[in-house]
Amino acid sequence: MNTSVDTFVNKWELGEEGKVELIQLLNESLIAISTSILENNSVKVDKIKLEKVEKTTKGKKSDDIQRFASKKAEDFANDNDIDISEFTMMKISKKDVEEKIREKTKDNKTIQADNKKPTTQTSTKSKVICSGITKKGEICNRPGTNKPNGARKNYCFRHCEDWKAFECESDSSNSDNEEEEEEIVKNEEEIVKNEEEIVKKKEIVKKEVIIKNEDSDSELDEE
């Protein structure tokens, strides 16, 4: 490109200024040509798209297109959040919309009724093992279904009669300690409650004193 421009400039003796103007003109003409080509191509593409749409819609009857029979039916469906795709028929009347609403409300009621049904839960109780000891000196693995009078642990039917032999004084002392700890905790809670009540009473007294002082100040101002 540059060699052809140089030969043209030398042939016609245009000089450097002429060379610059010539290159500028060439660039402008190239831009104009390219824009016109792009515009023509876009017009052709749009025409092809329109032709395709016309071919697809051409030959179709109005009965083949799904639509509402009236404006009232369409508005009624929109008010109840029902889409046209929910219907199977091609021409949808207001009566069809009403039937669809009944179907949906019926389905919602059945779903709510299913959700309200109580779920049956199987209660799994923790299995209590017998606290007795076998003749071999091993811990009994039978279920402790019985708790004799005075006993602190559960035993099976075999070890139920001799339960005293399997309980020692430490068991009773531990239970006594637990009861003492519970009493201490209860006493501490009562002390805390009493302290809170005392604080509340003090605040009430302070407020009453402040109100009395304000009243006395206002009486002195009036005098």
Sketch the domain layout of the chain as residue ranges.
2-57, 62-104, 128-169
Q: Strands (DSSP E) along the chain, which ranges?
A: 67-68, 91-92
Residue 103 dihedral angles phi and psi, to the nearest 5°: -60, -45
47-93 residue pLDDT tens: 666 666 565 555 555 556 888 889 988 998 888 888 888 888 888 99
Q: pLDDT: is 91 or 121 the higher one?
A: 91
Helices (H), the chain: 2-12, 15-57, 71-79, 94-116, 169-222
**For the residues 143-171, what does the mean pLDDT come to?**
84
Residue 177 dihedral angles phi and psi, to the nearest 5°: -60, -40
- Please give the model's pTM, rounded to 2 decimal places: 0.27
Identify the CA nearest to 79 among candidates 108, 110, 103, 100: 100
Q: Strands (DSSP E) along 3-90, which ranges?
A: 67-68
Q: 17 pLDDT exceeds 50?
A: yes
